[in-house]
Amino acid sequence: MKLLWRLLLLVLMSTKQSVAQTEDGSELAEGESAEASVVKLGVPDTRQSCAMWMGGVPGTPGHSGLPGRDGRDGLAGPKGDKGDQGQPGEKGEHGEKAEPGLPGPRGFPGTPGVQGSPGNSPASHHSAFSVGLTSPVSATNVPIRFNKVFLNEQRHYDGISGKFRCVLPGVYFFTYHFTIYPRDAKVGLYRNDRPVLFTYDQYKERDLDQASGSVLLKLQAGDEVWLQVYGEEEFSGIYSDNTNDSTFTGFLLYPDFTEENST
């Protein structure tokens, strides 16, 4: 360091010397026109040369100067390397429900089904009768015996007892149409010794009345249905002759073979 300072001082001094020489030169230039100046040029400046030779020991270096002002910002550096890939973000919310799509194309026809098993014979599900009177009813409180047969193929109606006997369980329709003459008539439709339907006609003198009734009943095999005069002879006005009929009709509306087909 000290060496560096000494070197710096030496350089400074030599520079000063050269400056002094230049000053001399300029003085020469001013006095170029004067002859005396030519003489002056040949005489060396003793004072200056003496100063050079008599130079003392160099002084100690001065204190360090104050820090200089901050420099200006440098130029922008080169672009850095590419950074690492970041972590994936959080899952987003569910989107809105979309509109239903268009219907798809029509499918191919299916394979034909297996042939079904044969059904029961229709004849086995038949039950129907239609009968009438050939003469007025005289007996009371006993089944009316219809002996004029319009239809009784299955013979489920018994003309001797006057009762229909159910063979096929199911729902039956019964209807009757009476000519009433010459007294009142009151008739009941019975099922198994109990009247379930009544028809009453109050006879008017010199007149010919009609009375009728009908009902649907669910029957089990073995059930019996019939008509009979309800009361004494005064209500036995059920009449019939060659041109005025009284009829009783019944038939199976539909069969019902389930277990609980009672009442």
Ligand X SMILES: *[C@@H]1O[C@H](CO)[C@@H](O)[C@H](O)[C@H]1NC(C)=O
* Residues within the interface to ligand X (CB under 6 A): 181, 208, 241, 243-244
User: Using CB atoms within 10 A of its CB, is residue 224 exposed (0-12), middle (13-18) or buried (19+)?
Assistant: middle
User: Using CB atoms within 10 A of its CB, is residue 214 exposed (0-12), middle (13-18) or buried (19+)?
Assistant: middle
Residue 231 CB, nearest approach to ligand X (Å): 22
Residue 244 CB, nearest approach to ligand X (Å): 4
Residue 115 CB, nearest approach to ligand X (Å): 57
Residue 143 CB, nearest approach to ligand X (Å): 24
179/199 with CB nearer ligand X:
179
Contacts of 141 (CB under 8 A, 6+ apart): 228, 229, 230, 231
234/241 with CB nearer ligand X:
241
How far is the CA of 195 from the CAs of 73, 178, 221, in angstroms?
125, 18, 19
136/255 with CB nearer ligand X:
136
12/208 with CB nearer ligand X:
208
Are 186 and 199 spatial neighbours (Cβ–Cβ below 8 Å)? yes
Q: CA-CA distance, 91 to 85, in Å (whole number)? A: 18
